[in-house]
Amino acid sequence: MRGLGSDRISDITCTILKRRLITYTQAIAARHNIPLSAHNLYASGFDKARLRFTNDSVSLPTNPFTKGPFLVVPMLFLRALPVLNGR
């Protein structure tokens, strides 16, 4: 699709999969004894009746530098984005 780059596609994909990523992150945190805290998370759920994403309070690990939440993504889904080199 014109004007829709790979970064935007990954953002959309993560938003759609966010509930599963939350569950995965909570499982990894439990396995490694990483403490969880309540965080308000943008687009963390979906209201089927209103057809809208919801912002919910969810238990996630806290980034020690930003104090915000973070999600863990399975390595299977990670890869380097192609870039153009100006040289």
Q: Which of 34, 35, 36, 52 is nearest to 44 (CA)?
A: 52
Q: What's the predicted TM-score (pTM) here?
A: 0.79
pLDDT for position 81: 65
Domain chopping of the chain, boundaries: 6-72
| Residue 76 or 49, more confident | 49
The strand pairing partners of 45, in sequence order, are 54
51: pLDDT strictly greater than 80: yes
Tell me: pLDDT of 1 over 80: no
Q: Are strands 37-47 and 52-60 parallel, antiparallel or unpaired?
A: antiparallel
Residue indicated by tokens 């439990």: 30
Rounded to 10 deg, the angle between the 6-16 and 18-31 helix axes is: 70
